[in-house]
Amino acid sequence: MNRYQQLKVRGRELVICLPPSYHQSERLYPVAYVQDQGEPFQDSLNYLEHCYASGKLQEVILVGICTKDRNREYTPWPMDALVAGRPAFAGEGRAYVNEVADVIKPWIDSTYRTLSGPEHTAIIGGSFGGLISLFAGYWRPEIFGRIGMLSGSLWYEGVLDYIKEQGALPSGVSLFMSVGRNEGIYKQNAQRSMFPNHLEAYRHWVESGTNEHQLCLIVDPDGTHDPIFMYRKFTDALQWLFTEAAEAAASHALTEPATEPVTEPGAESAAARKLTASGAIAPDGLASPDASVAESGSPRAPAAFSIPGTVTWRLRSELTGRAYRICIAEPMGPPPEGGYPVLYSLDANATFGSLAESIRMQSRTPRGIPPAVVVGIGFDSDSPIASEERFYNYTEYADSRELPARPGGMEWPETGGVAHFLEFIETQLKPRIEEHYPIDRSRQSLFGHSLGGYFALYTLFTRPEAFQRYVAASPSIWWKHHALYTHWENGSARLQEMQPLRELHLYVGREEKPSMVTDARELYACLKPHYHLLKTTYREIEGEGHVSVLPSLFSPLLRIVTAAPETP
């Protein structure tokens, strides 16, 4: 049996691409049904082979479905032609979807070794092929649980209204959607709405309670409505739909049980069944849990509170194996020229919710601050302060002789992970963020409080090129006998090479321990004469203590993050 096959099923031509290990194993494989003769995978076979071989992509059976009339089979209902003299859109998509679900899929499942459940079955396409894939998820969610919509034709008349009428995505359906920022911009008809309609649909799904592991939106800042942009997202769609979305569902099920939809007594959730051992990367989903039905015939139970426009990932460090909860507040408006400014904020367990709400409110047009991406870095913990993780990740190693006695004589937690944590941010997290959002690398900010403030200063003094703006609130300058001064002395020469100048903004609450206030004042006094190397500001917040100082900082912090870079 060849890996690549062309055949007919009930008169429908198919193109089959079996995974590399198919003939050497007895495994069962997930399946992706791909519109347009499978052009997205036929045009990227070498890259698929590379992704399989390098372990970036789970092996999948790919089924390309041929069509002779896209305007007939890929449209959900009839519509007049956009251009005079061209044929109208026939709108026979439902019959096509049913054929794939009831004829083609059963034949594939009976002929090949497939994982046949909806969580293992994708349907993917570009343009009209993406549109009909979306409707397959709406019309036949019991068959197609993984949807790939590459530049889907969301301009089609009535589609956005239909999406809004349906509310959240069907339970159990995960949707990967990608679109180019420049799609349709030169059109004078409904196709001009390609990009804004994607954003509107995305926001609707978020606000309607779509679960965080169900949805991923990728925007290509240069993308136009061409196969060169659509099809290069095909492997990304496969990876997210069959790896990240599954791990996200598993992580969501284990760490946030209260937000899982209610299942029948004794039923095992699909998310739990799909838990894997790798835990490498969980998803781009929406942190917006589903409201569920308490019992048959009863009103919908109230949904748990969520912040619209936020997503949650789970990333594991390749150096240490430690897992991090990454929370992202996505910008409300389109990216400015050069990309969005970005804030990387530590202690997301404690501060991300407030920051996300602040940027959402304050970036509203027309007089709001510019849109920005806020990336909260937190830990797998329900506590706002994950003490042991903070001590390890935010500090350099110190033995007990270099630290003061802890209250009650307790031992200090493990310390010394600062270099590995910084490497994780630079080599894993930042590239990951930049894959998903257009980022202005000249406006990257780091914010930390307490031990996180120590981390911000350590990064500035040892690796100043990592960010342009550093904000340290109530920093733990006392750590390891004030070792930060040594890092400043050793690293200040590197700042001479930095253009534009790096910025440091120091804050401390006036009501904090006297030693904390004194340390902050003395550090500022040390740095102030070096303004030609490092633009340093200092402010004491009247009436605030070590924790209460935080809410008062969020507005000035966002103004710092979104300020235009100074020209030399």
414 neighbors 399 (Cβ within 8 angstroms): no
What is the Cα–Cα distance from 182 to 192, expressed in whole angstroms?
Answer: 9
Tokens of 259: 């937000």
Tokens of 159: 């589609």
| Residue 219 CA from chain centroid, whole number | 12
Which of 35, 26, 115, 45 is closest to 69 using CA atoms? 35
Tokens of 246: 């599954």
What is the Cα–Cα distance from 244 to 432, expressed in whole angstroms?
Answer: 13
What is the Cα–Cα distance from 304 to 518, expressed in whole angstroms?
Answer: 43
- Among the options 450, 474, 503, 505, which is catalytic? 450
Q: In what order do the strands lie in the sheet with 215-220?
A: 4-9, 12-17, 61-65, 31-34, 121-126, 146-150, 174-180, 215-220
Indicate if 546 belongs to the active site: yes
Beta-sheet strands, E only, within 349-478? 373-378, 439-449, 469-473
Tokens of 41: 């995978």
Indicate if 512 belongs to the active site: yes
Residue 93: its H or E element: helix 93-99
| Amino acid symbol at 248 | A
What is the Cα–Cα distance from 64 to 37, expressed in whole angstroms?
Answer: 5
The residues that bridge with 15 in the sheet, in sequence order, are: 6, 64
Residue 126 phi/psi, 5-degree rounding, is -115, 145
Which of 523, 319, 522 is closest to 418 using CA atoms? 319
Burial of 155 (0-12, 13-18, 19+ CB in 10 A): buried
How far does the chain reach from its first CA to its final CA, in angstroms?
65
Torsion sign over Cα 335, 341, 346, 347:
negative
- Among the options 260, 396, 503, 512, which is catalytic? 512
Which of 468, 472, 458, 482 is closest to 549 using CA atoms? 472
Q: What is the 3-state secondary structure (H, E, C) of 256-322?
A: CHHHCCCCCCCCCCHHHHCCCCCCCECCCEECCCCCCECCCCCCECCCCCCCCCEEEEEEECCCCCC
- Among the options 13, 540, 546, 552, which is catalytic? 546
Cβ neighbours of residue 204 closer than 8 Å, sequence gap 6 or more:
163, 164
Helix/strand/coil for 68: coil
Q: What is the 3-state secondary structure (H, E, C) of 342-357?
A: EEEEECHHHHHHHHHH
| Amino acid symbol at 219 | V
Cβ neighbours of residue 96 closer than 8 Å, sequence gap 6 or more:
67, 73, 74, 132
CA distances from 200 to 159, 305, 334 (A): 12, 21, 12
255 neighbors 298 (Cβ within 8 angstroms): no
Helix/strand/coil for 447: strand
Give catalytic residue positions: 450, 512, 546
